A and B are shown apart, each in its own frame.
Chain A
């Protein structure tokens, strides 16, 4: 099966996932087209993070289908490494490799995993450092960088693999308020360049600004979704209304 650009890049259909007896996802479906930015919002424990971790097979699912560019993720024969070359991910806790410098963190995967030419990768990595506005921090170790700087290195590290879609798992949740802005700015830049992004976030103002589509999840189901213009002003479901009234 070949995927065409008119079909959703990521297509999630009726996904069920449980940890033991606890059912986290209860029939989630959503589509993401190429170049789209979607935001998943909702209260803690509603399964947002679990959902996006299923997209790059960090978590497996019990039932349903996840297609990434036509490739079924819920398949025991899935080549996870091939899938993950297409799907980048940025974590809440940055998860940079502390024994490597910022530049090495960015270069390692393209050189070791994709077996690309080292000099070529270094050129790209230096450009990416500039793009996330960390010039001069190439040789700094993660421990020497602020949370916001580390997170931007993590974004650059993900970009160096040249993925088709990037998953952002509450990437500003662990940051100091004053560094949140610089990370959001970087994500916005990617969105404007046409990168397909799936974000789990609590930053409502940001979601409203960059998202093409917003999904609200609660207790493992999508309660309501829509484009930001209508989602924030015309929420219909009482659970969405209550959540938005608490946050906004």
Chain B
């Protein structure tokens, strides 16, 4: 006991802990995946023992549906990447607006950011689904807006708001001396931002940005609620077409959880690695 307290006799002298990961506290661990794998295997083989020999085994059914489920999952990834792209671009603009010298623009961007950041993702998704038209026309050409694209736009709204905060936070975390040094060398505001401030922000923004992407990927299943044929919708249909057998529920849904884990875990690991790497150099 005594030795453990001695280790931190002078906590004030410890370097400040990096805060980049504090935006989202949830983090995937390897044991999450191992548990999922165990549930998936146990439930599918345990089901085999119980089931009627005439019916196909649970494991066989799962194997049969796997290609379709994986294809649907690829659709989830596509939605997540597109939503991330839109959200990152719009969020960067919004974040830069939040640090604009123009007070009106700054307040407007702050309001938009806070509005979308503090709205439930599902509500924003419904908002986009039912308020966006199913097609729009530019110069006489009708461009259809399918459901999955509407859902993507809906999901990109909270991403945009969170990205805006990541940008604002990163810019504000730089010492004011960087601005002053650039100003005293006759850099314009735009030059200061693009040549001095933002290049230093990129590595500060990368870990929270990747974290945000992980969260978004897991949130793409919300699109099932509005009928987009992604992995959750497909799983539901597969289960229905198998006659709604209750012994299929656990293996199928734990399989879906497992593929999300396999996709998101490396991102989480990489984020941790980057956070550590950047925390040392500062």
A positions within 8 Å CB-CB of B: 56, 58, 80-82, 84-85, 87-89, 91, 93, 95-99, 108-109, 112-114, 143, 154, 157-158, 161
A85 touches B186 (CB 8 A): yes
CB contact under 8 A between A95 and B177, given known A108-B195, A113-B191, A143-B281: yes
Chain A residues with CB under 8 Å of B196's CB are 97
| Complex: A100 Cα to B162 Cα, angstroms | 29
| Complex: A112 Cα to B200 Cα, angstroms | 18
Residue of A nearest to B177 (CB): A95
A161 touches B177 (CB 8 A): no
A97 touches B178 (CB 8 A): yes
Chain A residues with CB under 8 Å of B182's CB are 97
Interchain residue pairs with CB less than 8 A apart (29): A58-B180, A58-B183, A80-B183, A84-B184, A84-B185, A85-B186, A87-B184, A88-B185, A91-B180, A91-B181, A95-B175, A95-B177, A95-B178, A95-B180, A97-B178, A97-B182, A98-B200, A99-B200, A108-B185, A108-B195, A109-B186, A112-B187, A112-B191, A112-B195, A113-B191, A114-B186, A158-B184, A158-B185, A161-B186
Partner pick for A93 among B175, B184, B185, B199, CB 8 A cutoff: B175
Chain B residues with CB under 8 Å of A82's CB are 186
B181 touches A97 (CB 8 A): yes
Decide if the interface of chain A is mainly helix, strand, loop or mixed. mixed
| Complex: A236 Cα to B269 Cα, angstroms | 68
Partner pick for A113 among B175, B185, B282, CB 8 A cutoff: B185
B positions within 8 Å CB-CB of A: 175, 177-178, 180-188, 191, 195-196, 199-200, 281-282
A109 touches B187 (CB 8 A): yes
Chain B residues with CB under 8 Å of A113's CB are 185-188, 191
A81 touches B188 (CB 8 A): yes
A157 touches B185 (CB 8 A): yes
Partner pick for B184 among A56, A98, A99, CB 8 A cutoff: A56
Chain A residues with CB under 8 Å of B282's CB are 143
Chain A residues with CB under 8 Å of B183's CB are 58, 80, 84
Tell me how many residue pairs across A and B have CB atoms closer than 8 Å: 60
Partner pick for B185 among A99, A109, A143, CB 8 A cutoff: A109
| Complex: A85 Cα to B187 Cα, angstroms | 9
Q: Closest CB of chain B to A58's CB: distance in Å?
A: 6
| Complex: A158 Cα to B185 Cα, angstroms | 7
Decide if the interface of chain B is mainly helix, strand, loop or mixed. helix
Residue of A nearest to B194 (CB): A112
Q: Which 6 pairs of residues, A with B, have the shortest CB-CB distance?
A: A95-B181, A95-B177, A89-B184, A84-B186, A109-B185, A81-B186
Residue of A nearest to B201 (CB): A99
| Complex: A99 Cα to B180 Cα, angstroms | 16
Partner pick for A96 among B180, B181, B184, B195, CB 8 A cutoff: B181
| Complex: A161 Cα to B182 Cα, angstroms | 12
Chain B residues with CB under 8 Å of A95's CB are 175, 177-178, 180-181
B181 touches A99 (CB 8 A): no
| Complex: A93 Cα to B180 Cα, angstroms | 11
Residue of A nearest to B182 (CB): A97
Residue of A nearest to B191 (CB): A112
A91 touches B177 (CB 8 A): yes
| Complex: A96 Cα to B178 Cα, angstroms | 7
Q: Which of B181, B195, B282 has the most CB of A within 10 A?
A: B181
Q: Which of A88, A96, A108, A161 has the most CB of B within 10 A?
A: A108
Q: Closest CB of chain B to A57's CB: distance in Å?
A: 9
Q: Which of B175, B185, B200 has the most CB of A within 10 A?
A: B185
| Complex: A88 Cα to B185 Cα, angstroms | 7
| Complex: A87 Cα to B199 Cα, angstroms | 26
| Complex: A86 Cα to B104 Cα, angstroms | 33
Residue of A nearest to B184 (CB): A89
| Complex: A84 Cα to B281 Cα, angstroms | 31
| Complex: A95 Cα to B183 Cα, angstroms | 11
| Complex: A98 Cα to B182 Cα, angstroms | 12
A161 touches B200 (CB 8 A): no
Q: Closest CB of chain B to A171's CB: distance in Å?
A: 13
Residue of A nearest to B179 (CB): A95
| Complex: A205 Cα to B213 Cα, angstroms | 58
Chain A residues with CB under 8 Å of B175's CB are 93, 95
Residue of B nearest to A89 (CB): B184
Given contacts A84-B183, A87-B184, A108-B195, 19 further A-B contacts (CB under 8 A): A56-B184, A58-B184, A81-B186, A81-B187, A84-B186, A88-B184, A88-B185, A91-B180, A95-B180, A97-B181, A97-B182, A109-B185, A112-B187, A112-B195, A113-B186, A113-B187, A143-B281, A143-B282, A154-B181
